[in-house]
Amino acid sequence: MTTLTAHDPFGIVADNISTEPSSTAFSLDAANVPLEGGTDPTFGTVRWRTLINGNSDSPKEFVLGIAEFEPHGTLLPHRHDAAEFYFGLEGSGIVTIDGTPHEMRPGVALYVPADAEHDTVAGPDGLRFSYGFAEASFADILYRFSAANS
């Protein structure tokens, strides 16, 4: 019989995690996390709430946030080295990944490969989706906006 521990509940050793797993569980209410963004025309009009995010004193295994768009709001074309996921929560819109449009709405999951150019345009009712990266900190994600490079 195999005994499972809280540190390694499945008896599996992952070799792709660059930091030790966080040792402290926590919860938070997204409504209590302030919105950022929406003011720099380089990004578009998107605003976001970063919910799970590490730093040098408290590393995490991933970044999780919520992107929020007003009606017809935008996140302009950009790339980053890390792959990303989106999961639709409210509203609708179009996410274009390397030239291919994808419908975004509640319940839809999108995978954005590393270094893929992608952008978002919200529909007439706005759009909210969760996003995430397998990185220790949002500060580690270097956004390269296409318009800035032209």
**pLDDT at residue number 113:** 98
**pLDDT at residue number 13:** 52
CB 95 within 8 A of CB 119: yes
pTM: 0.81
b/e map 97-111, b = 16+ CB within 10 Å = beeeebebeeeeebe
**pLDDT at residue number 6:** 45
At 91-134, the pLDDT tens digits run: 999 999 999 999 999 999 999 999 999 999 999 999 999 999 99
**pLDDT at residue number 94:** 98
Alpha helices in 10-149 (DSSP H): none
Ranges in the chain, pLDDT < 70: 1-23, 148-150
**pLDDT at residue number 26:** 81
Residues in a beta bridge with 75 = 44, 120
